[in-house]
């Protein structure tokens, strides 16, 4: 572990593991809550290699590290055996618009299990492929064991989601797992087949449900919760709130066992009686709605979803579709949504291949090789952000080719039958469980061939790959320029406000210049705009700090206010995301200036160049400044 020794030294000099209540990190520093700050060796820490300085603020003991603080934090958590709390999140409902909070919730719940989810789907897909081509018999032991390996996660999916959902909602993850275990408890799932129902509820409607058991006289509608998605997420949401309530009212001496006991005693019956049935009906309706939209016109659906999938990924909107697809697998045993995007990674790979073969730029050629390989295996970010988007036309041609490929997938009725892998590993998921390699499966081959050939030809002949390029540039077009090794750049002001010398601000880490050279602004408006065109290299989860890499390679850090990480995202709304391409003058972050001041936080905002050793910095403004007016100039050494 690269920072293991540094982590050991830091822990020893903050008073040891026993002196640490908690540790989190922000964009530049470790933030300890210590039991006794007098036990910390501040002078030793300040002079330690790898530590910029030490600060005490807001009840936190802050060890300033720099941009690589996430790596040091991981080492500190591992060495000290601390609980990882690096995702600083607001309470549900406090941060951003309703849609943004929904996307954030879904990504937080599903991201931790996507790798093993894809792996399980790949095993199921390959198992189906081996049966289809006659390598395995579906009654044999080898098939059964492989099927168990691939199917186990899907059957017990609620248990994994119980863990991740409770963690996302701020509850105890193991409580979420126990709730899910109760939902898939075999004895309860087997009751409907054991005898006649006591009576039937909602007879004659789409919600008609036989009742086999009661809970203190209240009818319980038993559903099949194995492989379900929505019931456990909804249950975890309310369980987390219930747990927080009991944690406040139950005395500390018995809190350890009474809080989980009362939480489980209340939430599990409520889930069986109310949450589970309603959420299951909602799941069925959601599945029916997506199938209905698909059946209206599979070709149009394929062209739209396939063509815009990379755009959805750029803005994080794909997280709104992923759980719908997973729900379709659990409700219908198949899904058209993820099937319709199948061509996009191959189209991108073909466009990158065209760039790789035609470019005369050494840097672009070097970047293209690994990006091409990644895209073939379904990992599109390196090729999209590193090659296609900067060159612009290859990205547009990829979208067009993906749309045509998606339309062909819709035309052939190609749908997925398991939640499979990405790229080439997704292919086995198209094998029909009864028909094997049918016409729809071969349709996927044709769609990939057409989409890939089209993307390659359009990019190779019309991509403008070498237009205005030279070996000092990564990519350049008339409409868009991404240049490396630029000698001089002007950084505009990202804010309206009063310019201050960095040395005059309260934060010692910024004032000393240890985190970078630059200036500070006392903002008069709660809007942060892009000071340059470039890429968002870092966006902290609380949206109070952002890192930007300019087209010339300068790395800018903008930190809104002092110690505002303690607001945990309250009063901040981001309009971009990490990895996104941004243009000068684009609105990046909204913040409630008055509310932050009323909460007791200074709004002085440092704007610094963190890779300062590579640049000379000349300040251009020293008084009131408006957004987009020249603030300082950087010149490479």
Active site members: 26, 559
As to burial, measured by CB atoms within 10 angstroms (0-12 exposed, 13-18 middle, 19+ buried), residue 246 is middle
Longest dimension (CA), the chain: 84
In which element (H, E) is residue 62 found? strand 60-64
Q: How many Å apart are CA 515 and CA 509, to the nearest integer?
A: 6
Distance of CA 457 to the CA centre of its chain: 33
Beta bridge partners of 500: 520
What is the SS3 assignment for 367? helix
DSSP per-residue codes, 427-452: GGGGSBTTTBS-HHHHHHHHHHHHHH
Q: Calculate Rg over the CA atoms of the chain.
A: 28
Choose among 499, 463, 493, 475: nearest CA to 622.
Answer: 499
Contact 428, 126 (CB under 8 A): yes
Which 8-state DSSP code applies to residue 70? H
Q: How many Å apart are CA 633 and CA 631, to the nearest integer?
A: 7
User: Measured between alpha carbons, how far is residue 118 from residues 109, 114, 577 in Å?
Assistant: 15, 6, 24
Read off the tokens for 103.
């996307």
Q: How many Å apart are CA 190 and CA 225, to the nearest integer?
A: 12
80: Cβ–Cβ under 8 A, 6 or more apart, which residues? 7, 11, 17, 20, 23
What is the SS3 assignment for 251? coil
Residue whose entry in the numeric block shows the structure tokens 């705009």: 529
């Amino acid at each position: 572990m690269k920072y293991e020794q540094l982590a050991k030294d830091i822990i020893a000099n903050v008073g040891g593991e026993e002196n640490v209540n908690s540790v989190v990190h922000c964009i530049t520093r470790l933030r300890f809550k210590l039991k006794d700050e007098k036990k910390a060796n501040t002078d030793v820490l300040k002079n330690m290699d790898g530590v910029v300085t030490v600060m005490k603020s807001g009840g936190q003991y802050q060890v300033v590290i720099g941009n690589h603080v996430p790596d040091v934090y991981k080492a500190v958590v591992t060495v000290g055996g601390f609980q990882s709390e690096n995702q600083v999140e607001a309470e549900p409902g406090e941060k951003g618009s309703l849609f943004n909070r929904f996307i954030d919730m879904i990504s937080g719940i599903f991201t931790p299990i996507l790798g093993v989810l894809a792996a399980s789907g790949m095993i199921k897909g390959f198992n189906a492929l081996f049966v289809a081509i006659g390598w395995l018999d579906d009654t044999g032991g080898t098939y059964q064991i492989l099927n168990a390996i691939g199917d186990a996660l899907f059957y017990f999916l609620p248990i994994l989601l119980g863990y991740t959902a409770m963690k996302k909602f701020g509850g105890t993850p193991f409580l979420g797992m126990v709730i899910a275990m109760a939902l898939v408890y075999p004895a309860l799932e087997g009751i409907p087949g054991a005898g006649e129902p006591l009576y039937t509820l909602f007879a004659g409607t789409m919600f008609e449900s036989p009742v086999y058991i009661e809970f203190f006289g209240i009818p319980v509608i038993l559903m099949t919760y194995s492989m379900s998605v929505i019931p456990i997420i909804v249950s975890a949401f309310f369980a987390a709130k219930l747990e927080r309530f009991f944690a406040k009212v139950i005395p500390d001496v018995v809190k350890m066992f009474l809080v989980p006991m009362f939480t489980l005693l209340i939430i599990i019956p409520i889930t069986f009686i109310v949450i589970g049935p309603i959420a299951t009906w909602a799941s069925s309706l959601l599945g029916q709605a997506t199938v209905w939209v698909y059946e209206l016109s599979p070709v149009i659906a394929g062209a739209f979803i396939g063509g815009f999938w990379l755009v959805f990924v750029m803005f994080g909107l794909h997280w709104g579709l992923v759980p719908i697809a997973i729900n379709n697998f659990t409700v219908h045993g198949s899904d058209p949504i993820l099937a319709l995007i199948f061509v996009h990674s191959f189209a991108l790979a073909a466009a990158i291949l065209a760039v790789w073969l035609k470019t005369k730029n050494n840097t672009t050629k070097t970047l293209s090789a690994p990006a091409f390989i990644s895209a073939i295996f379904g990992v599109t970010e390196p090729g999209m952000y590193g090659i296609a988007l900067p060159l612009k036309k290859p990205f547009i041609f990829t979208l067009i080719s993906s749309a045509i490929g998606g339309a062909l997938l819709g035309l052939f009725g190609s749908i997925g039958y398991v939640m499979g892998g990405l790229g080439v590993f997704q292919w086995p998921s198209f094998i029909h469980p009864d028909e094997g390699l049918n016409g729809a499966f071969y349709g996927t081959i044709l769609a990939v061939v057409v989409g890939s050939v089209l993307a390659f030809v359009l990019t190779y002949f019309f991509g403008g790959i070498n237009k205005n390029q030279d070996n000092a540039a990564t990519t350049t077009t008339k409409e868009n320029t991404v240049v490396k090794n630029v000698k001089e750049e002007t950084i505009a002001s990202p804010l309206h406000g009063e310019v201050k010398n960095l040395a005059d601000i309260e934060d010692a880490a910024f004032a000393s210049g240890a985190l970078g050279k630059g200036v500070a602004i006392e903002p008069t408006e709660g809007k942060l705009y892009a000071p340059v065109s470039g890429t968002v290299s870092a966006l902290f989860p609380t949206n109070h700090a952002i890192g930007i890499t300019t087209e010339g390679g300068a790395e800018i850090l903008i930190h809104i206010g002092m110690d505002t990480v303690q607001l945990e995202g309250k009063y901040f709304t981001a309009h971009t995301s990490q990895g996104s391409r941004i243009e000068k003058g684009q609105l990046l972050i909204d913040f409630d200036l008055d509310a932050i001041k009323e909460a007791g936080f200074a709004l002085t905002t440092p704007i610094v160049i963190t890779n300062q050793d590579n640049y000379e910095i000349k300040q251009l403004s020293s008084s009131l400044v408006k957004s987009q007016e020249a603030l300082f100039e950087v010149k490479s050494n």
